[in-house]
Amino acid sequence: MESAAVKSQLKGGEFLLKESTIEDIFIPEDFNEEQKMIRQTAYDFLIQEVLPHARKIDKQEDNTLLEVLGKFANLGFLGTHMPTEYGGLDFDNHTNTLISEVMGPSGSFTVAYAAHIGIGMLPILYFGTDEQKSHYLPRLILGELKASYCLTEPGSGSDALAAKTRADLSEDGTKYILNGQKMWISNAGFADIFIVFAKIGGEKFTGFIVERNTPGLTFGEEEEKMGIKGSSTRQVFFENVAVPVDNLLGEIGKGHLIAFNVLNIGRYKLGALCLGGAQGSADTAIKYANERVQFGQAISNFGAIKYKIAEQAIRIFSGQSALYRVSHLLQKKREELAAEGVPFAKAKLEGAEEYAIECSILKIVGSEVVDYVVDETLQIHGGMGFSEEGTAARGYRDSRINRIYEGTNEINRMLMVDQLFKRALKGELDLVGPAWAVQKELASMPVLENVSGPYAEEKKAITDFKKILLMVAGAAAKSQMDGKINLKEEQEVLFNLSDMLTDLFLAESTLLRVEKLSTKADKQINQEVYDAILKVFLHDASFRMQKNATDALSSFSEGDLLKTFLMGVKRFSKYPIQPVKEARRKVADCLIAANAYVLGA
């Protein structure tokens, strides 16, 4: 693996092959005063304008959601990620990520907001003509127009390219006639424009901008959903809908580039929103645990509750560490491309495409962390958590969708491994050399290493995690080359590899954040708390790495070869056993004393 002396920008997936240092990352504790002011403005809006109306929004009463969205637009928050030439604010990536985090606890409002600024606006920014951008983006930024995105159909969910909606050029060549059906369309009840995907001539998958008042465009009733009840979700029907040829989006037959690239950013944003929602839920759990008295004392005094609070915090902290690491990669890539003269939209698009693996990781992590957190928050509330009087029940219902949309977590797990191997085959990543180096190390006698210095054991653990992953990935690739397995059909092995990639990225991101915090004099929390988070995460991740590696290897290896590989797993899994009970209690006691989740920025 390449040494830490290499300071070039990491490419997508390259975290597996190169080391990073604290100079290579951004952490939430690095925010400047201007960013903190923007965060406070967004937070004040959440507290004053969104949460007090949560019940009305959930019941879709009095157009409350649209009124709140309009007020958010008046503050400029629908255009923070847009170029100034269209009326946007062009905030840096860290600030936009921070806004998403802050708005994470806003439930159904989050869905409408995220669908509008993300999959609704970005296709036009990235793929629209100059005329389309000038015509639509200023009004979308002001909130005069609302946007929606029509991809999913009854017969095409994860397999988006199986869509049957059809577009045919009219005889006079001025319009495309659309016929078909879309379902699960967010914002469909009030959107003014729709990004629609259809196959020209039944074959060429293409994007279109369709306006709401177009004849033949009709809508189903509002779906009755398990959660995010306040968001508008309807079916959309196209019956001889005539769309001007000027409203074709991107190139004919290249609709998949729009759909998949926009989803990369959508996954990143969803990860941020989920982690923000998790922080809000954890804060609720801490406050309730301090208020609720049983057996003569606050339930926050009990070990079982401390475990839950600490585990919530550890999972959020590690996810947030990864989030801002990727935010930094995206920001630096955008700056690098801008310096080369690449236009604004193209620079953002290429950055998202470069870090597709990392965006999938964040989508999975964010959605699964928030699911864990809301579940334990409800459990801490006991019977009150099951009641709709509080917020725990709504948070529990609302969070579940996150593992499904923007590509299911199963699809994202397979995508990230597929992307890794594709980049290796294209020569963009050298997996073969490092994997072969690990194989040679396995064949040699173990060398007693002198582990010393700050976080030396943790750094060695990260290096060993990379060796395990390279060993398993190399062995899987070799088995495929030998015709023993077909990885596309071995989804269980792909899941093992993806979970190892995820644990590695989270572990290294957490280490880098904690190490960087150790150099800061103005941090709010005692460094021992951060160290405790790191040690618990690495302790648990080490066992998960062992299990995933063992499960994968035993799927395609046997006999002496399997024994050799398992010796490698053992050799590269030697992070010292940690006193995790005491470490978790240290984390929990910090939050309980603060009566709040105080591990963010």
Residue 363's nearest CA partner among 328, 312, 414, 314 is 414
Report the DSSP pairing between strands 233-244 and 175-186.
Answer: antiparallel
Q: Are the C-beta atoms of 114 and 146 separated by less than 8 Å?
A: no
The CA radius of gyration of the chain, in Å to the nearest whole number, is: 25
Catalytically active residues, by annotation: 406
* Phi, psi at 293, each rounded to 5°: -110, 130
Cβ proximity of 273 and 111 under 8 Å: no
Task: Classify each residue of 360-374 as buried b or exposed e, where b means 16 or more C-beta atoms within 10 Å of its C-beta.
Answer: bbbbbbbbbbbbbbb
Give residue 26's Cα distance to chain centre: 17
* DSSP alpha helix (H) spans, 166-296: 255-291
For 24-35, letters b (16+ CB in 10 Å) and e give bbbbbbebeeeb
For residue 49, give the H/E element and its range: none
Cα 390 from Cα 247, distance rounded (Å): 46
What is the rounded distance in angstroms from the CA atom of residue 338 to the CA atom of residue 229? 41
> Would you tell me how many other CB atoms lie within 10 Å of the CB of residue 477?
18
Residue 557 DSSP symbol: -
Per-position DSSP letters for 245-283, written without gaps between them: GGGEESSTT-HHHHHHHHHHHHHHHHHHHHHHHHHHHHH
Residue of 41, 25, 23, 44 lying closest to 33 (CA atoms): 41
Residue 76: how many other CB atoms lie within 10 Å:
17
